[in-house]
Amino acid sequence: MKAIVYHQYGSPDVLKLEEVEKPTPKDNEVLVKIRAVSINGSDWEGLRGKPLYARLGGLRKPSNKILGSDIAGRVEIAGKNVREFQTGDEVFGEMPEYRGGFAEYACVPETALIRKPASLTFEEAAAIPQGAVIALQGIRDQGQVQPGQKVLINGAGGSAGTFAVQLAKYYGADVTGVDNTFKLDFLRSLGADHVIDYTREDFAKSGKQYDLVLDVIAHRSVFSYARALKPNGSCFFVGGSVATLFQILLLGPWIRRATGKNLRLLVVQRNQKDLAFMTELCVTGKIVPAIDRRYPLSEVQDALRYVGQGRAKGKVVITVEQNNKK
């Protein structure tokens, strides 16, 4: 099968379209013929090998050589212990370890997938999994957002951020979205009440305070986050610099005891139930998977370059069959 492969960390130039062996599903897996796969921040990090946690699967070079996490497609073969799916079913979900999706086929544990609703395209379905579930667990489960609360999403114009803005609005919050100049109108179109351009203003120095901050790209000191929170406010960290994430781990509990402000890492627990919940919001139009651009599999390099240049508004989706009709 065709796949986009990389043998070393680096810029999108290290990605190559290669012929590789088509995988064979284990007993608990299905072989999915991929129709669409979306790009997340984790793909960019996995490509660059930065921050350091992106090298967990290979310190010097990537051990799994195919990036791509959020896939949608059709089941071609179901392993013998698979109960929920059979050949021909349309499915989507998140690949284990964020790998394997930039390819014509992938083997996926059945527990990582749910059925694709007929009303969503493969592209729309592929745009949902990782970002939507991060948003749900940050805003609803950990954040427990209530109507009228002030919520700030840092990195609001990307994969998780676009879902988080919409979900916080859905739960009745007053939402501030932070991203680059180019994405501010887009954030307003998703429902953000206020927008902040991170290239011009540091939200943590504005003196404003929030009930909840969800940061997908954290790089400040733990104390500046604490200043941006109301008493009893919470800040959940999804990704960002290793220095900031370490500070949260070490100093978060101390700040909690001293001030009542809750600063924690958000460790996302993937599950079919949360994915189904967010998908239902998309089906009923309460939330939209915001797709900016589509590229064929052979142009993953260009797609990642576009994301890496900070130009993508929401999701970029790779449409696999566009170039590889079989």
Ligand X SMILES: NC(=O)c1ccc[n+]([C@@H]2O[C@H](COP(=O)([O-])OP(=O)(O)OC[C@H]3O[C@@H](n4cnc5c(N)ncnc54)[C@H](OP(=O)(O)O)[C@@H]3O)[C@@H](O)[C@H]2O)c1
Q: Pattern of binders to ligand X over 96-135, x per CB under 6 A?
A: ----------------------------------xx--x-
Nearer to ligand X, 44 or 225 (CB): 44
Stretch near ligand X under the rule CB under 6 A, chosen from 58-66, 81-89, 154-162, 293-301: 154-162
* Closest to 190 measured CA to CA, from 232, 238, 222, 158: 158
Nearer to ligand X, 79 or 308 (CB): 308
> How many residues make contact with ligand X (CB under 6 A)?
27
Q: Pattern of binders to ligand X over 191-220, x per CB under 6 A?
A: -------x-----------------xx---
For residue 296, list its beta bridge partners.
319
What's 177-193 look like in SS3? Answer: EEECHHHHHHHHHCCCC
* Closest to 155 measured CA to CA, from 317, 313, 301, 288: 313
Residue spans of beta strands (DSSP E) within the chain = 2-5, 16-19, 29-38, 70-78, 90-94, 105-109, 113-115, 150-154, 174-179, 194-197, 210-215, 229-237, 262-265, 291-296, 315-319
Stretch near ligand X under the rule CB under 6 A, chosen from 13-21, 106-114, 157-165, 294-302: 157-165
Distance of closest approach, residue 142 Cβ to ligand X, in angstroms: 11
The correct pick among 56, 59, 242, 267 for binding ligand X (CB under 6 A) is: 267
Strand 210-215: give its sheet, edge to edge: 194-197, 174-179, 150-154, 210-215, 229-237, 262-265
Nearer to ligand X, 149 or 244 (CB): 244
Q: Which residues bind ligand X (CB under 6 A)?
A: 40-42, 44-45, 130-131, 134, 154-155, 157-161, 178-180, 198, 216-217, 238-239, 266-268, 310
